[in-house]
Copies of this chain bind each other. A is one copy, B any other.
């Protein structure tokens, strides 16, 4: 049960709060909670079983990462609509077949973010439309090679790893 919530900072993406709560064991605790609107990420597979991976510069972690096309939910936006929008904007792709791959909680100790994952197939090209603060290249990687990179540690982004691992099991059944 939350007794009090103090907003420390309300930004463009996140809101930081100090929250005083009673836990299920009866203990009182104060938590630093970073509220985030949540996001959606897409495993897009083409007819040759290649997956679309972005090589993306991330200031927060100081370098380039391999990531799925992904983005934040706009207010009230269903996760599938976010996934479709981001796949168009970041990768220049539209997909005719969509399947859910569940969701992940990024870091439940302090961060409320939930990322919804999708598998997208039957792809066609549309104009991409990245924003200036998005520094990324679009790559196509054989899916089995992407899974090997996920296993061996070359891929480190959490949503991308879970998306690839779950897609591996789903795609092999259909």
**Which residues between 13 and 44 of chain A lie within 8 Å of chain B, taking CB atoms?**
13-14, 16, 18-19, 21, 23-25, 27, 29, 31-34, 36
| Contact across chains for B57 and A133 when beta carbons are under 8 A apart | no
Which residues of chain B have C-beta atoms less than 8 A from A113's C-beta? 107
Scan A131-161; emit 1 where CB is below 8 A from any B CB, else 0.
0110100000000000000111100111101
| Contact across chains for B65 and A23 when beta carbons are under 8 A apart | no
Rounded to whole Å, the gap between the CB of A37 and the closest CB of chain B is: 11
**Which residues between 74 and 107 of chain A lie within 8 Å of chain B, taking CB atoms?**
102-107
Interface residues of A, dominant DSSP: mixed
Q: How many identical subunits does the complex contain?
A: 2
A24 to B63, CA, bound (A): 10
| Contact across chains for B112 and A61 when beta carbons are under 8 A apart | yes
Q: How large is the interface on A (under 10, 10 to 19, 20 to 34, 35 or more residues)?
A: 35 or more
Q: A19-B59, A59-B23 are in contact. Are A105 and B156 (CB under 8 A)?
A: yes
| Contact across chains for B104 and A58 when beta carbons are under 8 A apart | no
| Contact across chains for A33 and B59 when beta carbons are under 8 A apart | yes
Tell me the nearest residue of chain B to A23, going by C-beta: B135
Q: Lowest 8 A-B CB distances belong to which pairs?
A: A102-B153, A158-B158, A58-B108, A106-B107, A165-B165, A29-B133, A27-B132, A11-B32
